[in-house]
Amino acid sequence: MVRELSLNNLSQTIIRWCEMIKIEHTVFALPFALSGFILASGSHIALAKLFWAIIAFLAARSSAMSLNRAIDAKIDALNPRTQIRAIPKGEIKVNNALKFAFLAFLLMVYAAYNLNWTCVMLSPIAIIWLSLYSYTKRFTYLCHFVLGISLGGAALGGYVAVSNSLTNLTPWCLALAVSLWVSGFDILYALQDYEFDRQHKIYSLPAIFGVERALLVAKIAHVFTIICLILTGIFAQIHVLYYVGIGIVALMLIYEHSLVKPHDLSKINQAFFNINGFVSIICFTCILLDHFLL
């Protein structure tokens, strides 16, 4: 009986921590990190490098999410939408979240060490950028683009894990595509907190410029996302299957924006998670198939 209770407590703890770092949102950036990895690889995929690249990504993302939750603990406690999160509910202490973030950053650096020296040299930049993101919503509406660059860095990281350099235009185009894509859907996501952000002086783009202008910026960001994905294919000399996938992605982004209207924000979650999860998977699948089949 005691053992069953211990196992149950352990499972509940794991669930709380996974919920805090939103492990399901890994589907957004990990496929693009893997895409960068594949684009930099030749005919042979180095499995050891792939393993450490995935570890570095998961550690970096876990650190960033833990820091975000710890830094935003007071704001989350005030927002009705986020009051149910683990830290506001008292299920996870802020200090424990910070300790977890520190250990995850150490793991990221160790993974970088097992990849190459360029990854190690770039690690401090990643740590600083991921650590400062959460503060940007306190002073600039560009916070969405700061987040976008954070996830765009995953594509760069995947590429440099293999290439040991970033002199090629391919990873930069892919990273810019990811950055704009994430920035666009984060603006849509921020619409949920429009009234709260205005009341508490949070610098989200919708709160500063209004819902309609925020939607326009998100649409522009996603138009340039498609352009950058096309340029990625051109620079990487990817075959026609990839462009078919990008066409599907474009249609999905159009559908995403059709779900979110200035006076009807009820479908934001559907637009945010379901559609964008498929966007990243489709891009990765097309790059993967091109690499192995064509």
Chain segment 182-231, per-residue pLDDT in tens: 999 999 999 999 999 999 999 999 999 999 999 999 999 999 999 999 99
DSSP state letters, 23-78? GGGHHHHHHHHHHHHHHH--SS--HHHHHHHHHHHHHHHHHHHHHHHHHTHHHHHH
pLDDT for 10-33, tens place per residue? 778 788 888 888 888 888 889 999
> Residue 42: what pLDDT?
77
| pLDDT band with cut points at 50, 70 and 90 for residue 43 | confident
Q: What mean pLDDT is predicted for residues 69-89?
A: 93
Q: Cα 33 to the chain's mean position, in Å?
A: 10
- Written as six digits, the tokens of 163 are 């290439």
Q: Which of 10-19, 43-52, 111-120, 185-194 has the lowest mean pLDDT?
A: 10-19
Rounded to 5 degrees, what are φ and ψ at 264? Answer: -145, 100
Nearest CA to 252 out of 289, 225, 231, 290 is that of 225
> Residue 36: what pLDDT?
96
Decide: 156 and 217 in contact? Cβ < 8 Å.
no
| pLDDT band with cut points at 50, 70 and 90 for residue 180 | very high
From the CA atom positions of the chain, what is the Rg in Å? 19
> Residue 27: what pLDDT?
82
Decide: 75 and 3 in contact? Cβ < 8 Å.
no
The residue ranking higher by pLDDT, 294 or 261, is: 261
Say if 10 falls within a structural domain: no
Say if 4 falls within a structural domain: no
Is residue 2 pLDDT above 50, yes or no? no
Nearest CA to 146 out of 183, 181, 175 is that of 183
Q: Which of 154-168, 210-224, 280-294 has the lowest mean pLDDT?
A: 280-294
> Residue 267: what pLDDT?
78
Say if 22 falls within a structural domain: no
What gap in Å lies between CA 146 and CA 164, rounded to an integer? 25
Q: How many domains does the chain have?
A: 1
Share of the chain above pLDDT 90, in %: 75
Say if 265 falls within a structural domain: yes
Say if 177 falls within a structural domain: yes
162 exposure class (CB count in 10 Å sphere: 0-12, 13-18, 19+) = buried
Decide: 174 and 155 in contact? Cβ < 8 Å.
yes
Say if 64 falls within a structural domain: yes
Is residue 3 pLDDT above 90, yes or no? no
Say if 119 falls within a structural domain: yes
Domain of 287, in residue numbers:
30-293
Nearest CA to 175 out of 148, 142, 146 is that of 148
Q: Which residues contact 209 (CB under 8 A, 6 or more apart)?
A: 141, 217
Find the CATH number of the domain harbouring 121. Answer: 1.10.357.140
> Residue 44: what pLDDT?
80
CB atoms within 10 A of CB 156: 23
The residue ranking higher by pLDDT, 276 or 222, is: 222
The conformational region for residue 49 under phi > 0 = left, psi -120 to 50 = alpha, else beta, is alpha
